[in-house]
Structure 1
């Protein structure tokens, strides 16, 4: 009689034998959910921008300060993360960060003015800014390469699942509560994640071979925070102001770069810096960092384009746009689980990355094809299904290759710096997309207005020159200009993705 099949090996890690299979499974899922809180907070700030601006009475410049305040404090937390966690433990750092994030979310929900929103977003950034890096670093610290796959499976599933459910649930609550639901939901969903951190995270940390120094370099900290605020706000302000229209914006950008340079110089001289750049000179890591930066540039530009085109161009509702985003997030969550399970079977990862760029290009071209007046929301489902594959084929693949040559003790420095670059790249992508959209809108609107004459059919109606009719014509011109400018940008987006796919296949340094 045949012997019974052996039982499936239980999940375990040598550094924490006291953690059983189910606790480790929940631990990995919680790591991903913690990461997803940062992702979803940034996503919803962009998608619900019109509702939030109207709710607090914020002018565009005031709203940009709120976005920049979040990014600046997030950059600061990514820089000081390693030093704080080594003094406390990553569990305590995560618990404290989630509490700060909840407080910041409640402050945003209670904001009655632009200044209140700016203060709340700054507190939110202090809380959420280091969550992604802390979670990913903790995976690296507690597990060996052979033990890491089950944790990463749950990590990816949790992170992308948060992106899938957040837009959908927020859109439901927003209809009943208003714009405050964006932040109340963020605070509410963070509470069970916080409890899961307390229950599942390891109670003792592995011994740190590099104990922290006794003092932090506060001049560098202040310079980094101010540099991030000035530089990122300048990038965000490009939504509304041309960069070279006055000397103010170029000078502000130079000031931000100068403050970053001063902070880097201080870190270089420090005996135990927050980010040790001398450890990050490996060719594999630098190539991976470049691909990371490009991915976040593209994804932030897409995150700006899709809601703009669906709501301002096609006239879809906020709920319809959120449903499309949730569909994309669901595809990413399923794809992350499948690709992690089959990671050992994915050979020639450069080819997978190239396929990811081609799929991104196809999604952009398909969206441009669907930008027709009256297009229904279901016509965009194939677009978001394709776009949902790109994080798995691009970001996950790059992540699996970037850190291969880095020892464990250097991983925290590498991931902190990667997340600093992420914040800057995301702001740059949004700013550049805004600039190109402004230019396209101006050009197409001028061209469309030139073709409005007294022979235009809409002006032949009896009440054609009434204020209501003229306003309706103006709105239609704006809508058509938005669609045409969006088509131009999507064509350029697709061309850039194709060029990057060719570059990935030709270069030999990133294997």
Structure 2
């Protein structure tokens, strides 16, 4: 490739990855608008999110086998077309069933895009050529995260909740065209594919296991895990289906993911840090919109602008750190600094959670948070695969993305559980201190229906802010513990 072709190819790889990132992000940020637009109950909305995650897990498992049959270029183009179809289904059918179906189709399309792009970088380039490719890859992926919330908020004001999905379909079209023009020409398909048939019992078990297990984690937003036997049994059923799929893969002569190749200590430690990062990131993605919109009363557009600011910092940071990657020594210390920066962002946000806080007071928070993907995820990625041979890279990255989906669902579920517990405790505590001698109840019409509704709304808002403070303090403590563990262990170098 020439210089311009190489630049466009690397940028396109990043934009393809950003399709998956931005789709997941906007389902969390615009959840209230989407849920109200389709008339979905909380349970229905959870099924839509779980359906996306389950089909994404399935696509990450079968990615290598499918791409080896049809080439990565054809796989990426087909996936983008499926994603566009799923987005249009979500926008066209304003019903819970349409949303669940559309998100399941979206997951089939976008679920494997991140892994496919990153694996393709590894397969088509030599080590000396990966630097320029990764520079453009990171810039494209994080640029998509920067621009998507801002543009979606603009279109949502004019079009409504359908703008979330129409914009996703619209932005995927030029990315699809760029894939067709810039990706390397596909080699002839192998007339003798790696295996004659895919292991469909394992595929069905993996899909059902992902759906049951991830939906159980998502349902923790509304139901205590041990409040009944239903949720623990559902989680065990999901684990059993995963175990059955793993057993089938272990016996298969050419499995989708060969776990026997992934026993390296460096890779396993990196996988653990990846999982912790995605756990923290998904919890933050749940907390920030909740606290800004419900607690501080900021608008959806303001929240999206804050997210775009964070994405812009990440995009600039990814470019800078990639250019200077050879100068970054002692990467474990950089990862530890990333955890400390995350902790500082959480503590700084907790100090701003007060009624009437201006939106600009949150800018330093998102600037700090925008640095964490560069200091954490990029650094972990630069160390995790050092001992992984090129021929095993696809297996390693597929399994990493399966763990990503599970960790993201778990982080959102745990953050929601702790938030609910905090809300209940602080609401009860606040109500106990409201008596007939309270000055606010001495005002005229204070006991009218409108006055009591306003008082109840203020109690809920105060409880949200107090619960958010508690949760952010725990978040910061977990980040500090992660930083200490990075520094004291000796296996991840």
Q: TM-score, normalised by structure 1?
A: 0.96
CA apart distance, 1:461: 1.1
* Cα separation, 2, equivalents of 1:457 and 1:315: 24
Q: Is the 8 A contact 2:71 2:189 kept in 1?
A: no
Q: Is 1:212 aligned with 2:194?
A: yes
Deviation, 1:20, is 1.5
**Paired residues of 1:370 and 1:379 also in contact (CA < 8 A):** yes
CA distance in 1, matches of 2:472, 2:443: 36
Partner of residue 64, structure 1: 46
Deviations 1:414-437, CA, capped at 9 Å, x for gaps: 000000000000000000000000
Contact kept in structure 2, 1:36 and 1:159, CA below 8 Å: yes
- 1:448 partnered with 2:430: yes
Distance 1:206 1:137, change over 3 A: farther
Q: What are the within-5 Å matches in structure 2 for residues 129-278 of structure 1?
A: 129-205=111-187, 212-278=194-260
Could you tell me which runs of 5 or more consecutive residues in structure 1 were left unpaired when the two chains were aligned.
1-18
Q: Given the alignment, which residue of 58, 71, 93 partners 2:75?
A: 93
The whole-number CA distance in structure 2 between the counterparts of 1:252 and 1:46 is: 24
| Deviations 1:51-97 (CA, angstroms, capped at 9, x unpaired) | 00000000000000000000000000000000000000000000000
Mapped to 1, the partners of 2:187 and 2:135 lie a distance apart of: 22
CA distance in 1, matches of 2:72, 2:372: 30
Given the alignment, which residue of 84, 107, 118 partners 1:125?
107
The CA distance in 2 between the partners of 1:87 and 1:206, in whole Å, is 10
1:131 & 1:204 partners in 2: Cα distance? 17
Offset of 1:210 from its aligned partner?
11
State the Cα deviation string for residues 388-413 of structure 1 (Å, max 9, x = none).
00000000000000000011000000
Question: Aligned-pair distance for 1:204?
Answer: 3.0
Mapped to 1, the partners of 2:32 and 2:186 lie a distance apart of 45
SS of the aligned residue for 1:203 comes to coil
- Distance in 2 between the 1:210 and 1:23 partners? 32
Shift of residue 206, structure 1, vs aligned partner? 9.9
4+ residue runs over 6 A deviation = 206-210
- How many angstroms apart in 1 are the aligned matches of 2:436 and 2:475? 38
Q: Distance in 1 between matches of 2:47 and 2:465?
A: 28
Deviation of 1:371 (Å): 0.3
Determine the C-alpha separation between the residues in 2 that align with 1:184 and 1:145.
39
Q: By how many angstroms is 1:291 displaced?
A: 0.2
Q: Does 1:398 align with 2:385?
A: no
**Equivalents in 1 of 2:129, 2:178: separation in Å?**
21
Structure 1 distance, partners of 2:394, 2:273, is 19
C-alpha deviation, 1:209, in angstroms: 14
Please state if 1:432 is matched with 2:402.
no
Does the 8 Å CA contact 2:69/2:189 hold for their aligned counterparts? no
Q: Distance in 2 between matches of 1:261 and 1:96?
A: 30
Q: Does 1:370 align with 2:367?
A: no
Q: Is the 2:69–2:190 contact (alpha carbons within 8 Å) kept by the matching residues of 1?
A: no
Q: 1:209 to 1:298 in 2, by over 3 A?
A: farther
Aligned equivalents of 2:110, 2:186: Cα separation in 1: 23
Distance, in Å, in 1 between the alignment partners of 2:119 and 2:112 is 10
Give a deviation string over 1:285-336, Cα, whole Å, max 9, x none: 0000000000000000000000000000000000000000000000000000
Does the C-alpha gap of structure 1 residues 167 and 210 become closer, same or farther in structure 2, counting only changes over 3 Å? Answer: farther
Whole-angstrom distance in 2 between the partners of 1:316 and 1:347: 41
Aligned mates of 2:201, 2:456 — CA distance in 1: 52
- SS of 1:61's equivalent? helix
Secondary structure of the 2:253 match is coil
Q: Could you tell me how far apart the structure 2 residues matched to 1:465 and 1:307 are?
A: 32
**Root-mean-square deviation over aligned CA pairs:** 1.2
**Aligned equivalents of 1:432, 1:446: Cα separation in 2:** 21
Please give the alpha-carbon distance, in whole angstroms, between the structure 2 residues aligned to 1:294 and 1:112.
36
CA deviations on 1:273-295 (whole Å, 9 max, x unpaired) are 00000000000000000000000
Structure 1 residue 270: Cα displacement: 0.2
CA contact (8 A) 1:142 1:206 kept: no
Q: Is the 8 A contact 1:141 1:206 kept in 2?
A: no
